[in-house]
Structure 1
Amino acid sequence: MEAPCEKPPRTTPAPVTVIIVNWNSGPLLKECLTNLARQTVSPSRIIVVDNASTDGSADDLNGPDNITVQHAESNLGFAAGNNRAMEQCSTEFVALVNPDAFPEREWLEELLRAAQANPEAAAFASRMIQKEQPERLDGVGDAYHVTGVFWRIGHGQKHWSTRLHPHPVFSACAGAALFRLQAVRDAGGFDEDFFCYGEDVDLGFRLRLSGHTVHYVPEAVAYHVGGGSSGGAQSDVAAYYGQRNLPWVFLKNMPSPLLWPLLPAHILLNVLLVVRAAGRGQGYLALRAKRDTASRLPEVWKKRRAIQARRRIGLCALWRVLAKGWPR
């Protein structure tokens, strides 16, 4: 019995640039590029921004012929690395992929199909599956709670039938997602002060405020290791930047009629997060992160004024897309 034929890649490259920001990802980066080389729709270009890796992960890369590797002199972080690459893009779309994310063959084709069907949407989230536990989800887009906490929808849960249907989400996890380049530029790109963690939710919030929507595309599947270079969700790197950046997302983006009534709950949330971090032995790290959050508040408030001046979404429409219940 003959093996089923694989769908050949489209000969004309699609109007999309794939961007991968790499830092000491080891063999994961090469596996990611191998998966991209097998896509049924080929991107116009793949840009790998290597943030001064010391493990040789970005050396002698094999894969598609349309790869450009750019070596930064220092670790720019995820936000700045993507911004530098997007400055060089002329395609209609950019697809962001973490080096520890491995897209299925029709991933890019499905995202582009969803983009064509939803012209009002600026971002498209993948169905991300845990690489080591493929029966469990890594996430199907991001949710943002009224208190200012955010999470990957469905993280750690087994596949539900409801996860196989497309629907709007608050923002797209940039570990494997598609964006309309002009919408991202109009929103100001990633906030480079974030360095890493939460910058994709912050961008998603600004896209929302600009009047765009974000869609989850269940047919676009990518397998994700998670924390491939940062040490995982419980690492000191994740704990510090997660604690520091979380209030910035809330303070920059929440419109004033919602910000002030919700601020007490947001402050309480941050206290509880510090307490939880202390229970994991990271209390000092969390306190240092909150101190650094406060030290930049004048800059955050300046950004807030510019963001709110460009707001196009009504309060009721924004309230409807904010989560009010427990993570699920």
Structure 2
Amino acid sequence: MTAPDGSAARVVAVVVAYARRDLLVEALDALAEQTRQVDAVLVVDNASPDDSAVVASTHRVQPTVLELARNTGGAGGFAVGIAHAVDAMGADLVWLMDDDTIPRPEALHELLAARDDYDGPVAILGSRVVWTDGREHPMNTPRRRPGASGHAMRSAASVAAMPVRSSSFVSMLVDARAVRYHGLPIADYFIWNDDFEYSARLLRTGTGLHVPRSVVEHRTKSFGASDADPGPRFYYEVRNKIWMLTRSSSLSASERVLYAGASARRWVRTAGRSEDRRALLRAGARGLRDGLFRSPRSNVTSLAGLGPVSGSVERLERSAR
């Protein structure tokens, strides 16, 4: 569990919170009970209307709490959190999760063990995600990296892992070196597909591992996949997926074609299941328009005016390739 210079790796857990103070307490409790303790915890409070920030600041895990002046969504929260963890808190590894992610006690230990035993650098490691009843959560189901070589498969299997092409912010351990090279998640995504775009960008040439021995609970209100009826939020699914397919460096040309087809099929299924198809299609049409005719702003622009952390965002983004 070492840093590049051979010293112990400094792990900073980043929890992005919005208006779920009871779940946030459970997430922080779980971080306090890790068998391999995190070195620091950072809570990014996205201008919650409840007392999430106050509750976090008094928790026994003693987190640093960033209270944002406005809600930047999950995408902005993770961009800010990663920037602060790497630039201001000296993180070698950043462990990302939402406030409804409850890691089991061995979760971090197993991620680090796989990283240390793997023969080569690893940009991202992800946990097995289950729902409250222990079933694999369909919203966060990993898939083996397409075209993974026999060597890659054997290397991953040697640490009881699987090579992947993307990962979820529901327990994603990211190497700070990859952050400095590739930059941050795109804050203007706000919600949805931000983790897909970011992890796929880091893993286009980097190595990502799914580590089933590391387990977290994703305490969503219901058990379902990402193509369940999203209502007006379908706007973000369509807009962001188009942005990713047309404006991101995360995918190769052939992958763009494959993911475009998969997305179209998923959208048809979503529309077929919707209880208010007219509203869903209106949201999708707006997403299509904005995805085609607008572009996401730079993080320096979209995350300006948030105090010192805006400086961390700018420094990381300007140093990225």
TM normalised by structure 2 equals 0.73
Which whole-Å CA distance do the structure 1 matches of 2:259 and 2:221 have between them?
31
Within the candidate set 31, 49, 62, 2:44 is matched to: 49
- Structure 1: how far apart are the matches of 2:255 and 2:105? 42
Encode CA deviations 1:239-295: one digit per residue, 9 max, x unaligned. Answer: 221222112222223334665x65984785487367447664211111111111112
Equivalent position of 2:219 in the other structure: 225
Amino acid in the other structure paired with 1:76: T
Could you tell me which amino acid in structure 2 is paired with residue 68 of structure 1? T
1:250 aligns with 2:248: no
What are the within-5 Å matches in structure 2 for residues 252-271 of structure 1?
Answer: 252=248, 253-256=250-253, 259=256, 265=261, 269=265
1:178-224 residue CA offsets vs partner (Å, 9 max, x unmatched): 11012023112101121111111101211122x21110111111011
The 1:142/1:98 distance shift into structure 2, 3 A limit, reads farther
1:316 aligns with none
Q: Which runs of 5+ in 1 are unaligned?
A: 1-11, 147-161, 301-309, 312-328
**For 1:298 and 1:17, how far apart are their aligned partners in 2?**
28
Give the Cα–Cα distance (whole angstroms) in 2 for the partners of residues 113 and 220 of structure 1.
10
1:65 CA drift (Å): 3.9
Cα distance in structure 2, aligned partners of 1:24 and 1:129: 22
Q: Which amino acid aligns with 1:296?
A: R
Partners of 1:34 and 1:298 in 2: CA distance: 36
Structure 2 letter corresponding to 1:101: T
Do structure 1's residue 215 and structure 2's residue 209 form an aligned pair? yes
Consecutive aligned runs of 4 or more in structure 1 exceeding 4 Å deviation:
142-146, 261-264, 266-271, 277-280, 297-300
Q: Secondary structure at the match of 1:244?
A: helix
Aligned to 2:68: 72
Structure 1 equivalent of residue 112 of structure 2: 112
Aligned residues: 269
Would you say the 8 A contact 1:171–1:205 is kept in 2? yes
- Does the CA-based 8 Å contact 1:143-1:171 persist in structure 2? no
Residue of structure 1 equivalent to 2:292: 294
Q: Rate the CA distance shift 1:41–1:267 in 2: closer, same or farther, 3 A.
A: closer
Matching residue of 1:172:
167
Deviates more, 1:243-252 or 1:72-81: 243-252
Corresponding residue for 1:203? Answer: 198
Report if aligned partners of 1:44, 1:66 keep a CA contact under 8 Å in 2.
Answer: no
Match of 1:193 in 2: 188
TM-score with structure 1 setting the length: 0.71
**C-alpha contact 2:13 2:95 (8 A) present in aligned 1:** yes
Instruction: Identify if the C-alpha distance between structure 1 residues 114 and 262 changes in structure 2 by more than 3 Å, giving closer, same or farther.
Output: closer
Q: What's 1:137 paired with?
A: 137
**Closer, same or farther: CA 195–143 of 1 in aligned 2, 3 Å:** farther
Q: 1:271 to 1:242 in 2, by over 3 A?
A: closer
Larger proportion of helix: 2
CA 1:270 to 1:99, structure 2 compared with 1: closer, same or farther past 3 Å? closer
What is the CA–CA distance in structure 1 between the aligned matches of 2:21 and 2:229, rounded to whole Å? 20
Instruction: Give the conservation status (yes or no) of the 8 Å contact 2:145–2:164.
Output: no
- Give 2:212's aligned amino acid: P
Q: Say if 1:45 and 1:188 are closer, same or farther in 2 by CA, change over 3 A.
A: same
Work out the CA distance in 1 between the residues paired with 2:263 and 2:136.
32
**Residue correspondence of structure 1 range 73-92 to structure 2 within 5 A:** 73-89=69-85, 90-92=90-92
Q: Which amino acid aligns with 1:225?
A: R
Residue segments in structure 2 that go unaligned for 5+ positions in a row: 1-6, 148-156, 299-319
AA of the residue aligned to 1:91 = A
Identity %: 26
More strand by share: 1
Map of 1:39 onto structure 2: 34
Q: String of CA shifts for 1:30-55, please: whole Å, max 9, x gaps.
A: 01100111011111111101010002
Q: Distance in 2 between matches of 1:263 and 1:112?
A: 31
Q: How far 1:24 moved relative to its partner? A: 0.8
Counterpart Cα distance in 2 of 1:103 and 1:36: 7
Distance 1:14 1:213, change over 3 A: closer
Give 3-state SS (helix, strand or coil) of 1:40's partner: coil
RMSD of aligned C-alpha atoms?
A: 3.3
Task: Kindly indicate whether the alpha-carbon contact (under 8 Å) linking 2:28 and 2:61 is maintained by their aligned counterparts in 1.
Answer: no
